[in-house]
Structure 1
Amino acid sequence: MDAHFLGIAELTEVPSVAVVVDVMRAFTVAAWAFAQGAEQIVLAESLDDALALKARHPDWVALKDGPPAPGFEMVNSPGLLRSADLTGRTVVQKTTAGTVGALAVKDASLVLCASFVVAEATARLLRTRECDHVTFVVTGEDGQAEEDLACAQYIAGRADGVGADAAGFLRRAADSRAAAELTEGVRQGVHPDDVALCLELDRFPFAMVAALEESLMVLRPWTV
């Protein structure tokens, strides 16, 4: 498999297959939302768009980065989300990096959103689809986020059938700037278990596929 690892700003053309990686925390949170029963996740362009979608669909659940805010029921934290009952609900998600990255490649023929908790399922889907050319979008820190790059490289190896030892990749993520900021309370809207939950390899058996549906970028779980 020909794999390329790019930051959002480095995307100069539409890739055929894109894997958008946000470990801490957007696509760990998305996986938890599906595990808690969510039917779909709508990726919003902005906070205002998220609130507008919520206004049109009062039964939808809006979620954002940072501290709680009016109109948003939840924040972007797996530790805070894991006790929520989202059975049959639609979640509207807007984050700093992950949702931005997914929307940047919305015209790709296949868009997967990934983190360590869905790594093997993501790699399996790439193998099943026989994807020869894959662009991994490293969303955090202008493409320099070590946790996202480590996860992307791990998934790329697994998609190639390489029996890579996950420990080193997880260690890189644990030692990342994002992990430190979450642990030290630099970021808001954080649960003490967030970093540990983001480093749970293959917690869930599904991949997450995003596609345009009536002008909205919609994320759904996909069991291979």
Structure 2
Amino acid sequence: MDARFLGIADLVEVPSVAVVVDVMRAYTVAAWAFGQGAEKIVLAESLDEALALKARHPDWVALKDGPPAPGFDAVNSPGLLRSVDLGGRTVVQKTTAGTVGALAVQEVPLVLCAGFVVAEATAQFLRARKSDSVTFVVTGEDGQADEDLACAQYIARRATGVGTDAAEYVHRAAGSRAAAELAGGVRQGAHPDDVALCLEVDRFPFAMVAASQGSLMVLRPHPMPSPAGEDPA
């Protein structure tokens, strides 16, 4: 498999497959939302769009980066979200980098969103699709975020079927600037367990597939492909 690792600003052509990686914290939070029963996640382009969607659908759950704010029900923290019952709910998510990355590749035929918590399921999805070329979108720090790059490289290795130990990749992510900022309280709207939860490997048995639905970009969980390697499409 030919794997490319690009920042959002480096996306100059439309690849056939894109994996958008945001470890700390957008796609760890998204996975936890599905784990807590959410049906789908609408990826909002802006805070105003998120609030407008919430206004039109009062039963939807709107969340954002940073501290709590009027109109939003939750913040982008896995530690805080893990106690919220989202059974059957729709979540509207707007974050600084993760949702931006997914919206940047909305014309791509297949878009997966990932973090360490869904790494193996994502790799299995790519293997089942027999993807020859995959573009990994490293969303943080203009494509330089080591936690996102480490996770992307790990998934790429696993997608080739190589028996790769996650430990070295998790270690890199643990030493990243994002991890230090979260642990040090620099980032608002956080829980003390957020770093550990973001570094948990294969917590959830599903990949997360984003696709256009009307004018919206919608993320849904997709169960891990069977061992037989059936095409998940």
Matches within 5 A, 1:191-210: 191-210=191-210
Give the paired residue count: 224
**In structure 2, what is the equivalent of residue 68 of structure 1?**
68
Matches within 5 A, 1:23-42: 23-42=23-42
**In structure 1, what is the equivalent of residue 95 of structure 2?**
95
Matches within 5 A, 1:72-221: 72-221=72-221
What is the root-mean-square deviation of aligned Cα atoms in Å? 0.4
SS in 2 for 1:117: helix
TM-score by length of 2: 0.96
CA deviation after TM superposition for structure 1 residue 70, in Å: 0.3
Aligned amino acid, residue 69 of structure 1: A
**In structure 1, what is the equivalent of residue 229 of structure 2?**
none
CA deviation after TM superposition for structure 1 residue 15, in Å: 1.2
SS in 1 for 2:122: helix
Aligned amino acid, residue 23 of structure 2: V
CA deviation after TM superposition for structure 1 residue 215, in Å: 1.2
CA deviation after TM superposition for structure 1 residue 165, in Å: 1.1
SS in 1 for 2:68: coil
SS in 2 for 1:158: helix
Distance in 2 separating the partners of 1:97 and 1:167: 25
Distance in 1 separating the partners of 2:14 and 2:2: 16
Distance in 1 separating the partners of 2:148 and 2:38: 24
Distance in 2 separating the partners of 1:194 and 1:185: 11
SS in 1 for 2:13: coil
Distance in 2 separating the partners of 1:91 and 1:25: 15
- Percentage identity across paired residues of the two chains: 82
Aligned amino acid, residue 69 of structure 2: A
**In structure 2, what is the equivalent of residue 54 of structure 1?**
54
Distance in 2 separating the partners of 1:131 and 1:39: 27
Distance in 2 separating the partners of 1:84 and 1:23: 20
Give structure 2 stretches of 5+ with no counterpart: 226-233
SS in 1 for 2:91: strand
**In structure 1, what is the equivalent of residue 228 of structure 2?**
none
Give structure 1 stretches of 5+ with no counterpart: none
TM-score by length of 1: 1.00
